Structure 1
């Protein structure tokens, strides 16, 4: 296992330590860490310092500490934000007198400008040659969004994801294509439990601003394959209809959000996915895993939502969590 680098508030390395205990996470709902250092060569750490594993995405900024005394022995645990947590602590918001924050240009340039906007350009270095370009892309839903979520949504619109790596004492923020790891259940690399569900909502009525007969309404429909449009194909006993209330939405926002929410419901069923260590190597948040079971004819594609890294007794282990998967059936499995 590589040593943990301890750096001061200016990102200048001050020590390399190996006797540590670490619980670090990044993703949808956890972007923090707890670090205990038992190395006698460790310097006197201060709040505002950093740590990282060179060449990896693991690291963050120390912002607090916890002292535990047991049997007369005091243990200090440093608590802080992972790189993603630092982004999540910032808000992207529209300029004064503007409806939305709008960006244009190549993705690396957009991220550089956004990092400067939130005051983190001195910490993160955008390191990417990606040529994907956006024109007048707006942060619409929500208009005020934490930078980590905003960056992920922005990049996802181009099939890209964030890629953190520390090298040369610089925290490099890369942009890479979302990868899909495909395996079969026979490989013992992906375990999953699938329950098909054909009675998902296929007609969503969005209700926006205004009142009574003047209230804004937007109808969206899903077909038998989960494709969403404003043309209804499933009717009568096959129609499953719901209401989506967005009382502050104007016409454009209501249309976009109603379509988005109906699309999110087209999962095809419920699924639990477990990844083995073999599959997890190289995976990062927003990558996808696809597994297929020949006997049932069911396949599932799930998105990685969280990455957890732990170090204990010199051994590092990574685990992943995935979100609700998309279930598909072949004709043989029907």
Structure 2
């Protein structure tokens, strides 16, 4: 892939050459940075990249706007930095209207996406008129969520994801960022990745977690508030015991002074973190086809039989010393 750069007005100036590129995009805001760094040797810096310059690979999500330039004579480098297009969406907030508890929307998916992104980034981000045939009714955003997280959750609730890509302009015209809703595709049944396919796969199936938590609240001795919480067969938390005998694993949670409501809420949070869990880590360096952030992939270790499927959470594009690599990380991976 070749990265194009522009002046601050969006006029194309050429390609980024002889630089190290590190660009990360992803849906999981907890772990995803959604920014880029382009490192040049000082001898290769000509000053044509400025604050406000756009960088992009046409028809892909790779790109953003230069918002930081750092220089190091010791490292003999100049580095340009900024948020990716997706990262810019994490820096806009969906706010409730005056007198409203929550911001809400209803209607066809692409109509909502178009209205939100064009309002946030006039003249740079555009939606599409394509009708998905899917509508939401009185969808309620989390209070003061980011534009990215709000649209991501809304689309995910109906099996869709965002497709973000830069549309290159004509010779004398500035391009633009296109955002639209597309269906999430589950590729796990078609493509199952293993270590034979440039995939590093790790899975920890932990079945020794706590399944009975005795929560201790206010009071003394026999008068102390006690709540028993249990993990059910399918991982749900309630107050009816499922695991017994040798399968029961018990711990106490001491929250002296807690009233019932707080003890119950915090006890559930504690048990959720302590119960059985399966953790996945799958790094893929190459993927054939059109899989993108939000689509579902599967992996298998044929030696142990361990298998999993999970959404792609992040894509990391790097060029280092002339060697290009694209890595894919699963949702939730650090």
The two structures share one fold, judged by TM-score above 0.5: yes
Are the aligned partners of 1:221 and 1:229 in contact in 2 as well (CA < 8 Å)? yes
Say whether residues 1:177 and 2:183 are aligned partners.
yes
Q: TM-score normalised to the size of structure 2?
A: 0.72
Stretch moving more, 102-111 or 294-303: 294-303
Q: Return the match for 2:204 from 195, 203, 207.
A: 195
Q: Give the match for residue 52 of structure 1.
A: 56
CA separation of 1:159 and 1:267: change in aligned 2, threshold 3 A: farther
How far residue 138 of structure 1 moved from its aligned partner, in angstroms, is 0.6
Q: Return the match for 2:35 from 21, 32, 35.
A: 32
Deviations, residues 41-60 of structure 1 (Å, cap 9, x unaligned): 96623212211012221100
CA separation of 1:296 and 1:315: change in aligned 2, threshold 3 A: closer
How far residue 300 of structure 1 moved from its aligned partner, in angstroms, is 1.3
Partners of 2:14 and 2:198 lie apart in 1 by: 38
Size of the alignment, in residue pairs?
A: 299
Q: Give the match for residue 139 of structure 1.
A: 141
Q: Any unmatched runs of 5+ in structure 1? A: 213-218, 246-250, 326-334
How far residue 64 of structure 1 moved from its aligned partner, in angstroms, is 1.2
Partners of 1:161 and 1:135 lie apart in 2 by: 18
**Quick check: which one's strand share is greater?**
1
Deviations, residues 178-198 of structure 1 (Å, cap 9, x unaligned): 233331537444442333223
How far residue 160 of structure 1 moved from its aligned partner, in angstroms, is 1.6
Partners of 2:233 and 2:16 lie apart in 1 by: 57
CA separation of 1:99 and 1:56: change in aligned 2, threshold 3 A: same
Q: Return the match for 1:68 from 52, 72, 78.
A: 72
Q: Any unmatched runs of 5+ in structure 2? A: 169-174, 220-227, 256-260
How far residue 204 of structure 1 moved from its aligned partner, in angstroms, is 9.1
Q: TM-score normalised to the size of structure 1?
A: 0.72
Rg comparison, structure with higher value: 2
- Aligned partner of residue 112 in structure 2, secondary structure: helix
Are the aligned partners of 1:57 and 1:165 in contact in 2 as well (CA < 8 Å)? yes
The alignment yields a C-alpha RMSD, in angstroms, of 4.0
Are the aligned partners of 1:280 and 1:318 in contact in 2 as well (CA < 8 Å)? no
- Aligned partner of residue 112 in structure 1, secondary structure: helix
Are the aligned partners of 2:115 and 2:127 in contact in 1 as well (CA < 8 Å)? no
Partners of 1:230 and 1:136 lie apart in 2 by: 30
Q: Give the match for residue 156 of structure 1.
A: 156
- Aligned partner of residue 279 in structure 1, secondary structure: coil
How far residue 151 of structure 1 moved from its aligned partner, in angstroms, is 2.1
Stretch moving more, 33-42 or 97-106: 33-42
Partners of 1:267 and 1:177 lie apart in 2 by: 31
